[in-house]
Amino acid sequence: NAGVTQTPKFQVLKTGQSMTLQCAQDMNHNSMYWYRQDPGMGLRLIYYSASEGTTDKGEVPNGYNVSRLNKREFSLRLESAAPSQTSVYFCASSDNSGADTQYFGPGTRLTVL
Amino acid sequence: ILNVEQSPQSLHVQEGDSTNFTCSFPSSNFYALHWYRWETAKSPEALFVMTLNGDEKKKGRISATLNTKEGYSYLYIKGSQPEDSATYLCAFANQAGTALIFGKGTTLSVSS
């Protein structure tokens, strides 16, 4: 049981480049989430998917797009990276959103130059 | 805008001290309150999920209480150990089917 996996672990981009962060879970969870972690800001929700086929914006969605590819996979895309998107990105999943425990992936450290 | 506040922002204690931190959240439309433990360079890990007013949860030396009427939860650590050093996050949900709103965390440092 791998839990929540994320790829890549590290990435360096130049301003304007695009990339997709991948996330997969093997716990048959319905809900998946993308967060970013910045110093002093805690965890901020970018987008979430309460169930397969649905996605909703979180607190900081600008500059990002998501795709819930199937029940297992939830990807985050940066279309035109900016230095302000330098952060650590965490994917998480839960059985359902709200009262169920979230399980986090190992994170992706992204630097935009 | 729903806001979750945690205090203190950080604290430093000696090994063996007991400590507690506070999480404040909106008292209306409560659904669930979560606590997570987040060690440096790792991912957050769940400690507790509480849904009922008056709930108390315990895991080893760590316990938590919940007051939904006044909108706060306390996390207690009894006899702190260096391995308890981490950031402790609380997160609030105001209804089923919504994402959690996280506080910024309390960072605990325990010296031996």
Residues 23-82 of B with CB under 8 A from A: 31-32, 34, 36, 42-46, 49, 51
Distance CA B103, CA A47 (A): 17
Q: Quick check: A53 contacting B, CB < 8 Å?
A: no
The alpha-carbon gap from B54 to the nearest alpha carbon of chain A, in Å, equals 16
- Which of A40, A48, A102 lies at the smallest CB-CB distance from B46? A102
- Residues with Cβ within 8 Å of A20's Cβ and at least 6 positions away in sequence, in order, are A75, A76, A77, A78
Q: What number of other Cβ atoms are within 10 A of residue A36's Cβ?
A: 23
Task: Note whether A18 and A81 are within 8 A (CB).
Answer: yes
pLDDT-derived band at B2, boundaries 50, 70, 90: confident
User: What are the beta bridge partners of residue A68?
Assistant: A74
Q: Report the run of H or E that residue B53 belongs to, with start and end.
A: none
Q: φ and ψ at A21, to 5 degrees?
A: -95, 135
A40 shares contact with chain B (CB less than 8 Å) = yes
Sheet with A4-7, strands from edge to edge, namely A4-7, A19-25, A74-78, A64-68
Residue pLDDT tens, chain A, 113 long: 679 999 999 999 999 999 999 999 999 999 999 999 998 888 999 999 998 989 999 999 999 999 998 999 999 999 999 999 999 999 999 998 778 899 999 999 999 99
Q: Does A88 touch chain B (CB under 8 A)?
A: no
> What is the C-alpha to C-alpha distance for residues B68 and B52, in angstroms, rounded to an integer?
7
Chain A residues whose CB is inside 8 A of the B100 CB are: 45, 97-98, 102
